Amino acid sequence: MKALFAKIGRGIRKAFLPTVVTLTVALTIAHFAWKYSGSNEWELKKDEGGVKVYTLKTPGSTLLKIKADMQVATSLTSAVFLLRGDESTSDDFGGKDFTVVERIETPKLFMACYSAKHPMPPPFRTKEMVVMLNYAQDPATKKVEINVQAAPGRTPPSPNTSRVTHLNNIFRLTPLANGLIDWEITLDVDMGLFYPLANLSMPEYLFNDLSYHKKLVLTEKYQKARLISVEEPGSPPQALTSSLQESL
């Protein structure tokens, strides 16, 4: 009987080991083939409900960059208020423990450092984001470009969380002649997910996110927002003596 089991074991090893080696080689080849592929051009992946989603593959990177665009009938102020982050709006996006580390707002610029925790499904740990955010409105076109970058060293780490260290997102809000706001979001972020999973899930995530923004920005909280750092198209220039707002 022992001889029989030994013979079966040898047979399994003979079949199993070559399979593992072959699979490992195939996965390694596939990984490097994917990593160094890419056109470095935006490609349309989804166009539905007025929201367009694009992906861009850069040679040398395993993660896709994601971009989405839509047009919304709302004020520029309401759109900026939604995207720039605030204590009064953090609950709308599922974040926890939203904290303003630093914030400065004048008629010429806005700069802030925020931290927030984002629960993740098992087996992933809660993600903690610490970001630096800034924008300055173009006085001629009234366009606002919000730049958001990871600042993982800005605050001490929180227990039982995993901090996002790579994030470089851009939100572009452009008033159009027809009264709409062109709303574009570009994501360049590593959430620490296995990259095939991230590449499959992030385009759909951004599509759902913008679809949600499109409805959320029309609610009373955002429509009533007033910001000294944003001028609506056609409005007179704000006085340069507007006060500096800063919280630490």
Using 50, 70 and 90 to split pLDDT, how confident is the model at 203? Answer: very high
pTM: 0.83
Rounded to an integer, the average pLDDT of 140-147 is 97
Report the SS3 class of residue 201: helix
Beta bridge partners of 115: 99, 130
Angstrom distances, CA of residue 12 to CA of 2, 22, 23, 25: 15, 16, 16, 20
The CA-based angle 13-17-18, given to 5 degrees, is 125
Percent of the chain with pLDDT over 90: 67
What stretch of H or E contains 131?
Answer: strand 126-135
By C-alpha distance, which of 204, 205, 148, 176 is closest to 72? Answer: 176
More confident: 143 or 91: 143
The answer to whether 169 touches 188, Cβ cutoff 8 Å, is: yes
Contact 70/50 with Cβ under 8 angstroms? yes
43-247 adopts what CATH topology?
Answer: Alpha-D-Glucose-1,6-Bisphosphate; Chain A, domain 4 (3.30.530)
Most distant CA pair in the chain, distance: 94
Tokens of 21: 């080696």
Task: Please give the pLDDT value at position 245.
Answer: 42
Q: Give pLDDT, residue 30.
A: 74
Distance CA 102, CA 147 (A): 16
Give the residue extent of every domain in the chain.
1-35, 43-247
* Short-list 181, 191, 161, 177, CA closest to 63: 191
For 19-30, what is each residue's pLDDT tens digit? 766 777 777 777
Contacts for 228 with CB less than 8 Å, ≥ 6 apart: 105, 106, 107, 238, 242, 243, 245
Residue-averaged pLDDT of the chain: 87
Q: Are 83 and 237 in contact (CB under 8 A)?
A: no
The answer, yes or no, to whether residue 107 has pLDDT greater than 90, is yes
Distance of CA 141 to CAs 91, 133, 220, 223, Å? 32, 21, 26, 21
pLDDT band at 123 (very low <50, low <70, confident <90, very high): confident
Q: Is 165 in contact with 150 (CB distance < 8 Å)? A: yes
Q: In this predicted model, which residue has the larger pLDDT, 171 or 248?
A: 171
